Amino acid sequence: MISSILTRSTRPGREVLFGQPWLRLAALVFLLLPILAACGFSSNDSGGQISWTQGTRPAEGIAPPANADTTQPTVAATDVSGATDPPAEPAPTEGAVEEATLAPTEVPTTAPIQPTQPVVTGEILSPEQLQQYQPNELGVVPVFMYHNIVQEYGPGEEGDVLFRTEAEFRDDLQFLYDNNFYIITYREYIENRITAPAGKHPAVLVFDDSRPNQFYYNIAEDGSVTIDPHSAIGILEDFFSTHPDFGHTAMFGVIEIWCFDFEAPDQTEYCQQKLQWLVDNGYEVANHTKDHQDLSNVTTEIFMEKVGGTTLWLQEQSGQESATGAVVLPYGLFPDTDINPEALDQWRMVRNGFDYDGQHIQLISLLAAGAEPAPSPNSINFDPMSIARIGAKDEPSEGEGNLFLDYWFSQFLARPDLLYTSDGNPDTITVPAELPGEQVGLLDTEKIESEGKQLIEY
């Protein structure tokens, strides 16, 4: 039920003072995209090249969500050569062991790991708490895109969005922690049941391509395995355990044929164990297709095999049905109705579900590869089938827009009012009566009402 009606007022002068940078950036991105796409970057080749293209929005008439904004496509940049780019710096492979046994996995952290229960009040905030926490559940939610986590850059890797050093990654986490972010699951973002504590800014971490340096087992002589503390999951476990009020999760976009074992064959046998470990320890696994298939122009048969088949495989391997409905699009490319006559069918399947191999598959989200914070699930701009992400590198390379961490982190510092700030209660949607100018008119009151949530303005 809607308990109060939002007054869509603006603060006079606010736009003049604060309103421009993000909008200008968005405009710049849109202007740059065709240019960049025409600059000879190709998304279909290998070698870590990146092409930025505007995402193809779902075509009309295929059940777009209510109030979907069809005039402003999400900037869907592309990535990301997953399958064929240069191998990541291999994690240390010591002591290849014959007949490794599946000994219990130990996480190399000093503190016991207690998956943190978010501090969710479940209550309506008092006027004093509202002033203290300043919730704005119409703000944007950054979804960060990582690939390889390396100790040092190899040749050509610096400045490539596919590579981030451990030190840089730890700095990213520290920045987010220091600036009041809280890591949530992708699914709670998509399903609008965000459990970040009151006053925190929810954020999502996503790792693409299931590289060994994201989840690497050190294998002992006796065959027991431990998580490499320098692989992404080792770093995350260490950081989360020492920052228990930061959330405790991340999502991994898994390629079926390279399940944390690309050019690391000693890791192959642990695929299922790792997927199970992730799910058992509060992480999410998502579908990055069977073999990093570019989905922009494939037959529906291939689409079903590469998306549907891998969805079923992930469910079977991890036992998790939830996050496997999220598809991390290889290269950030959507089925493209401009070039593929079967793309419309595929969009219907994305929206409405489809049957494959005797089972019904219902996707919950498609993730693009760029290049801005994603909308609040309470915004009319929110479309779960087109979620933007922020690529994890600092400076743009020549010819790229300013779309990466340095820029967005600076924006978060300059404009925290544009971020989603939680009220700590998933059942209420709290927004300031005087919204930032950029957010005026974006509140999806119909959706909030249909989800049975209480709208609170203050």
Residue placing its CB nearer to Zn ion in the complex, 240 or 404: 404
Least separation in angstroms between CB 330 and Zn ion: 5
- 150-209 residues near Zn ion, rule: CB under 5 A: 208-209
Q: Least distance in Å: CB of 293 to Zn ion?
A: 10
- Which residue, 248 or 290, is less far from Zn ion as judged by CB? 290
Contact by Cβ (8 Å): 296, 333: yes
- Of residues 64 through 83, those in contact with Zn ion by CB under 5 A are 80, 82
Encoded tokens for 252: 């991994």
For the CB of residue 414, give the shortest distance to Zn ion in the complex, in Å: 31
Task: Give the phi and the psi of residue 144 in degrees, each rounded to 5.
Answer: -95, 140
Contact 249, 228 (CB under 8 A): no
247 versus 370: smaller Cβ distance to Zn ion: 370
CB of 95 to Zn ion, least distance (A): 30
In the complex, the smallest distance separating the C-beta of residue 443 from Zn ion, rounded to whole angstroms, is 34
Q: Which of residues 288-347 bind Zn ion (CB under 5 A)?
A: none
Task: Say how far apart CA 149 and CA 165 lie, in whole Å.
Answer: 5
Q: Which residues contact 13 (CB under 8 A, 6 or more apart)?
A: none
| Residues numbered 208-227 forming contacts with Zn ion, rule: CB under 5 A | 208-209
- Select the residue whose beta carbon is closest to Zn ion and give its number: 82
What is the maximum alpha-carbon separation in the chain? Answer: 71
State in angstroms the smallest separation of the CB of 255 from Zn ion.
Answer: 7
Q: Cβ closer to Zn ion: 82 or 212?
A: 82
Q: Give the residue with the Cβ less far from Zn ion, 56 or 136.
A: 56
CA–CA separation, 236 and 252 (whole Å): 12
* 87 DSSP β-pair partners: none
Q: Which is nearer to Zn ion, 256 or 423 (CB)?
A: 256
# chain residues binding Zn ion, by CB under 5 A: 4
Q: Judge whether 135 and 199 are in contact, CB under 8 Å.
A: yes
Identify which of residues 207 and 354 has a Cβ nearer to Zn ion in the complex. 207
- CB 426 within 8 Å of CB 195: yes
From the CB of 211, what's the least distance to Zn ion, in Å?
10
Candidates 351, 339, 412; CA nearest to 53 is 339
Give the integer Cα–Cα distance in Å for 145 and 371. 10
Nearer to Zn ion, 80 or 363 (CB): 80
Residue 85 as a binder of Zn ion (CB under 5 A): the answer is no
Give the per-residue contact string, 108-147, with Zn ion (x = CB under 5 A; - = no). Answer: ----------------------------------------
Q: Are 200 and 250 in contact (CB under 8 A)?
A: no
Q: How far is the CB of 80 from Zn ion (least distance, A)?
A: 4
Element (H, E) at 187: helix 186-190
Detail the DSSP E strand segments found in 65-180: 143-146, 148-150, 163-165
Residues that bind Zn ion (CB under 5 A): 80, 82, 208-209
